Structure 1
Amino acid sequence: MTANTHHHATPSGKPRARSFGIPFDGTPGPYNAITDVAGVTVGYTTLISGDGPLVVGKGPVRTGVTAILPRPRNDLMTPVFAGLFSQNGNGELTGSHLIEELGAFNFPITITNTHSCGVTRDATLRWMQRIQPHALESAFALPVSGETYDGFLNDINGHHVGFDHVETALDTATGGPIEEGSVGGGTGMITFGFKAGCGTASRLVPWQDATFTVGAFVQSNFGARHNLAIRGVRAGADLAEPAIQDNTPRMEKSSIIAIIATDAPLLPHQMKRLAKRVPLGVALTGGFGYNSSGDIFLAFTTANAQAAGGISGAMIEARYVPDVDINPFFDAVVQTVEEAILNALTASEDMAGRDGNFVPSLPKAWLRKSFSE
């Protein structure tokens, strides 16, 4: 497959935003994905079963888990410099206090539904014990796990995500092109009243004589239909239909988790600065951080591995791009987050779930008419 094909379709053939002629700023990497950052891999477990009335503990099930490995399996004990930003804290990202304290974390990231966040965190510890048996003998670990709410389509109180599902996502994490839409932790998610879920994008950032990569991954589950904007086109008014079919009371429980990865040599305070630019990409699509929305963003860099790991009693040196030159990396964050959200929308299809609740996909005919013709 050519890079152009990767930019236009997922590995299973789902359409990405660029396939509809939607224009974007910046230059994407070969896969236009967070996996363009060398060493970063992504894995999914998707759980879809049952139809009809909700029976707690039995279904219908529309959920899953996403695993993001910031380093190759054998290097997961080596921390990555990181920073985070909570635009609106109506959500959870475990391990966040340690990241604020140290500016770093290690082990994989998992993202799932709100009531399975603890399961994925604990399962990550069990998985690490299995693949690196000595890793936790004399150390503690606080894995990163994020969540968004999928209870409109999923039997969220049935707790269908188990340890084995998490371990499968971790075991199958790969680089290269990755799936988007209703997969993994994004299986039951909704954005602007349309079916959404997982999305990703990347940008190449030249600096001096090097070219660095910035990649974004989102679990997208936010936004009011009337606010939807696509590359400056206020689409909400044109897309009042098709509407969600709601057979149970639907409270607004919306959130977005975004993970930013880069191979650029940046320090922890600079990673926090990148995380703070994620809301600008969200806003370009019409997301305004409403009351119930958990808008939590984490950025990490795979560079400076020796400095991030540290050695007791040794002086450590780290390279970094100076703050006065950081603006192109801010651009890349905003651009990748915007495109990742739109990829999550375009790669998703209609979905019915618990109690027959129905969420339509973003109308593809409207996209083609608006951007391709």
Structure 2
Amino acid sequence: MHAHGGERVRARSLGVVVGALPTGPLNAITDVPGVLVGHTTVDDGADLRTGVTAIVPPGLDGGGLPAAVHTGNGYGKLVGSTQVDELGVLESPVVLTATLSVFRAADAVLTYLMGRRPDGVSFNPLVGETNDGFLSDIRRRPITERHVLDALEGATGGLPAEGCVGAGTGTTALGFKAGIGTSSRRVAAGGTEVTVGALAQANFGGVLTVRGVPVPVEEVVPGSRRPEPPGNSCMIVVATDAPLDARRLGRLARRAVFAMGRVGASYAQGSGDYAIAFSTAPPGGPAVPDAALDPLFAAVMDAVEEALLNSLFMATTTTGFAGRTAHAVPYDRRSQVTPFGRPCR
């Protein structure tokens, strides 16, 4: 069962502020105009803790969006990534789920795309995954076409749900229960103000580090043991309305994977760490020049770091498959300075 332990809050509500750049109004990937997020959660209260998260950009029906994928470590199943690499174009929503359900999810996205483009003869679903097998019976492959279509068709603007929801229902990271997290930044680039948003499905190993302060699970949760396997993969989606081509978006995607190191990622050999970046800017305009990308790099690094922290801070203690438990990060909501009993930098 879930042990909720009271209301969970985002990083900023604990006084954990990442960087000096301002956030968008919602501090979420949906601050990028037109970007929608939908979740389907599969939770039977026992052995199934899994789901689907869909990130739906605007403009896909007009021939796709400039996009890039960066593979930090390729121990994963990111369906459709090679065509994005080859053409620099995103043709579908980005769907996230569990490892052994990724192939059924990709077929469901194909159903979605065929329904929107009845004359199409080729489609490239982009579907990623992390392994939630510590808390969910992954071999049952419970994700159905209806689950995926519900996430896609129910995607909305507004602040997405975070923590134990959708594709983050059964994930763990850095020794704790994790899930879905999101954040955004506003920044001047190429002579105009733009938004950079990030959404992460966190499920990787290492020691949680909050603004430079290590928070080992075995020290802050008495009697706990680090989940085995200690998380294995991270999917990061970066959206921006900055005018960028695929090559420059690849540079942003690399920084997204770099940002995992800020929160203590171990980058283990068995961790599939991927970032997908796309631009919603109208086609035909000049791209932000390389010499002006530094503010966007900073925005990506900060937004991803905060998204990852939100994925942990919003998650609740969960007991799932085979009675295994992943503990939520403990914090004192009353403290705005030292929520973990230790000073943050």
TM-score, with length taken from structure 2: 0.91
Separation in 1 of the partners of 2:241 and 2:89? 15
Q: Residues 218-367 of structure 1: matches in 2 within 5 Å?
A: 218-224=200-206, 227-236=207-216, 239=219, 241-242=221-222, 244=224, 250-305=228-283, 317-365=284-332, 367=339
Q: Residues 147-226 of structure 1: matches in 2 within 5 Å?
A: 147-207=129-189, 209-224=191-206
Residues matched between the structures, number: 333
1:239 Cα deviation (Å)? 3.2
Q: Residues 70-89 of structure 1: matches in 2 within 5 Å?
A: 70-71=57-58, 75-89=60-74
Contact conserved, 1:243 with 1:360, CA < 8 A, in 2? no
Separation in 2 of the partners of 1:208 and 1:90? 36
Give, as a single letter, the amino acid of the residue that structure 1 aligns with 2:102: C
Quickly say closer, same or farther: Cα 1:165–1:238, change in 2 above 3 A: closer
User: Which moved further from structure 2: 110-119 or 278-287?
Assistant: 278-287
1:208 Cα deviation (Å)? 5.4
Q: For 1:304, what is the secondary structure of its paired residue?
A: coil
Separation in 1 of the partners of 2:149 and 2:342? 42
Give, as a single letter, the amino acid of the residue that structure 2 aligns with 1:176: G
Larger Rg: 1
1:70 Cα deviation (Å)? 1.3
Give, as a single letter, the amino acid of the residue that structure 1 aligns with 2:89: A
Q: For 2:219, what is the secondary structure of its paired residue?
A: coil
User: Which moved further from structure 2: 273-282 or 197-206?
Assistant: 273-282
1:92 Cα deviation (Å)? 1.7
Partner of 1:62: 49
| Residue 110 of structure 1 pairs with residue 82 of structure 2 | no
1:181 Cα deviation (Å)? 0.3
Quickly say closer, same or farther: Cα 1:146–1:208, change in 2 above 3 A: closer
Partner of 1:44: 39
1:253-283 deviation line (CA, Å, top 9, x unaligned): 5110000000000111000000111122110
1:23 Cα deviation (Å)? 2.1
Q: For 1:84, what is the secondary structure of its paired residue?
A: strand
Give, as a single letter, the amino acid of the residue that structure 1 aligns with 2:281: A
Q: For 2:134, what is the secondary structure of its paired residue?
A: coil
1:371 Cα deviation (Å)? 5.9
Contact conserved, 1:70 with 1:76, CA < 8 A, in 2? no
Partner of 1:19: 13
Separation in 2 of the partners of 1:164 and 1:30? 32
Quickly say closer, same or farther: Cα 1:359–1:291, change in 2 above 3 A: same
Partner of 1:31: 26
Q: For 1:174, what is the secondary structure of its paired residue?
A: coil
Separation in 2 of the partners of 1:237 and 1:124? 37
1:69 Cα deviation (Å)? 0.4
1:364 Cα deviation (Å)? 1.4
1:139-172 deviation line (CA, Å, top 9, x unaligned): 2001100000011110111111100011110111
1:282-327 deviation line (CA, Å, top 9, x unaligned): 100011311111001111101134xxxxxxxxxxx44211100000
Superposed structure 1 runs of 4+ greater than 6 Å apart: none
Separation in 1 of the partners of 2:223 and 2:160? 29
Q: For 2:322, what is the secondary structure of its paired residue?
A: helix
Separation in 2 of the partners of 1:287 and 1:253? 10
Quickly say closer, same or farther: Cα 1:181–1:212, change in 2 above 3 A: same
Separation in 2 of the partners of 1:126 and 1:13? 38
What RMSD in Å do the two structures reach over aligned CA positions? 2.1
Separation in 2 of the partners of 1:27 and 1:138? 41
1:198-221 deviation line (CA, Å, top 9, x unaligned): 000000011355210000000000
Q: For 1:152, what is the secondary structure of its paired residue?
A: coil
Separation in 1 of the partners of 2:217 and 2:135? 25
How many percent of aligned residue pairs carry the same amino acid?
39
Contact conserved, 1:83 with 1:103, CA < 8 A, in 2? yes
